[in-house]
């Protein structure tokens, strides 16, 4: 089964997202746990979540991907900023248990001049404080483009974070096609080589989701500007290879392209047409 979805707005609740996903040919979706810029999260509407959980089961939805606010920084030099990330993420993990057994993705953060090793230590220590043995949610580190002092622009950095987290079975990685290409991993010319390298450094058994985005910028630009599928520097042929790759094709794919819902519907149709069902 091809597991494909896109980023949807959370504002109208879970059941609304489920129905919207279904209406555009998706069988999963990504959503922000709260306003991506702010901290305020609406109280969970238990009835809405219960209706959604039934809906998702009924329609055979694949694992969902929640995305943490991208303004959080687990490795800021400012202790208050780190504490804020800690509080928000701990609360997000409580909220995630209303929809059990899904994924929660976050950007590792920017070390802002503290040095990458210090940043990695702070990210791991935050995770070691908030992860719980009884949680059903898996937390994913996103591969980053390496702009500025971003941590996670190399597979080695992600591996080092994972190595320092105690509850390893609660962790994983989400690979973003735009970010890795911008970071200098050439998935256009050598997808097999990049996948092999990922397996060698991190392990493919720790890869749980793919963000499927084209890039507005050339290879190794360290920029992070997403483009519509087939309209950027990765190109449609690359995406056909990515979604059909024997080591990736079982994973859930999430579009974060610059689109409204109708544009996502079109891209999902396009990708479904490219996914081989032999």
Binding site for Fe ion (CB under 5 A): 142, 176, 211
Q: Nearest to residue 171, comparing CAs of 199, 212, 112, 130?
A: 130
Helices 14-23 and 46-58 sit at what angle, rounded to 10 degrees?
30
In eight-state DSSP terms, residue 187 is T
Q: Provide the minimum distance between the beta carbon of 187 and Zn ion in the complex, in angstroms, as a whole number.
A: 15
Nearer to Fe ion, 157 or 176 (CB): 176
H helix or E strand, kind and range, residue 244: helix 236-244
CA separation for the pair 147, 67 (Å, rounded): 19
Nearer to Fe ion, 15 or 66 (CB): 66
Nearer to Zn ion, 56 or 182 (CB): 182
224 binds, among Zn ion, Fe ion, none (CB under 5 to 8 A by kind): Zn ion
Q: Provide the minimum distance between the beta carbon of 209 and Fe ion in the complex, in angstroms, as a whole number.
A: 10
Q: Nearest to residue 174, comparing CAs of 211, 119, 127?
A: 211
Q: Map tokens 């320092």 to a residue.
A: 164
Nearer to Zn ion, 92 or 224 (CB): 224
Q: Provide the minimum distance between the beta carbon of 226 and Fe ion in the complex, in angstroms, as a whole number.
A: 8
Please state, in angstroms and as integers, the Cα–Cα distance from residue 39 to each residue in 8, 32, 70, 84, 138, following that order. Answer: 18, 11, 11, 9, 21
The pattern of x and - marking residues 68 through 107 that bind Zn ion according to CB under 5 A reads: ----------------------------------------
The pattern of x and - marking residues 224 through 253 that bind Zn ion according to CB under 5 A reads: x-----------------------------
- Give the number of other CB atoms < 10 A from CB of residue 11: 11
The pattern of x and - marking residues 186 through 225 that bind Zn ion according to CB under 5 A reads: --------------------------------------x-
- Give me the residues that bind Zn ion (CB under 5 A), please: 224
């Amino acid at each position: 089964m091809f597991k494909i979805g896109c980023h949807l707005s959370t504002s109208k609740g879970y059941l609304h997202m489920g129905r919207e996903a279904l209406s555009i040919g998706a069988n999963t979706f990504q959503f922000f746990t709260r306003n991506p810029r702010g901290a305020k999260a609406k109280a969970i509407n238990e009835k809405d979540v219960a209706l959604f959980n039934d809906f998702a089961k009924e329609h055979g939805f694949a694992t969902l991907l929640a995305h943490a606010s991208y303004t959080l920084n687990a490795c800021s030099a400012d202790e208050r900023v780190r504490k804020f990330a800690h509080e928000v993420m701990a609360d997000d993990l409580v909220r995630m248990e209303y929809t059990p057994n899904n994924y929660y993705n976050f950007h590792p953060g920017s070390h802002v001049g503290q040095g990458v090793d210090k940043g990695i230590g702070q990210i791991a220590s935050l995770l070691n404080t908030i992860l719980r043995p009884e949680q059903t949610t898996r937390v994913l580190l996103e591969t980053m483009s390496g702009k500025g002092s971003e941590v996670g622009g190399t597979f080695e950095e992600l591996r080092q974070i994972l190595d320092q987290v105690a509850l390893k079975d609660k962790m994983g990685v989400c690979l973003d096609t735009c970010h890795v290409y911008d970071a200098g991993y050439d998935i256009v010319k050598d997808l097999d080589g990049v996948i092999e390298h990922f397996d060698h450094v991190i392990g493919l058994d720790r890869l749980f989701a793919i963000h499927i985005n084209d890039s507005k910028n050339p290879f190794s630009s360290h920029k992070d500007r997403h483009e519509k599928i087939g309209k950027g520097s990765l190109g449609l042929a690359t995406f056909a290879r990515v979604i059909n790759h024997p080591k990736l094709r079982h994973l859930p794919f999430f579009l974060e392209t610059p689109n409204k819902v109708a544009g996502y519907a079109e891209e999902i149709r396009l990708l479904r047409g490219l996914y081989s069902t032999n």
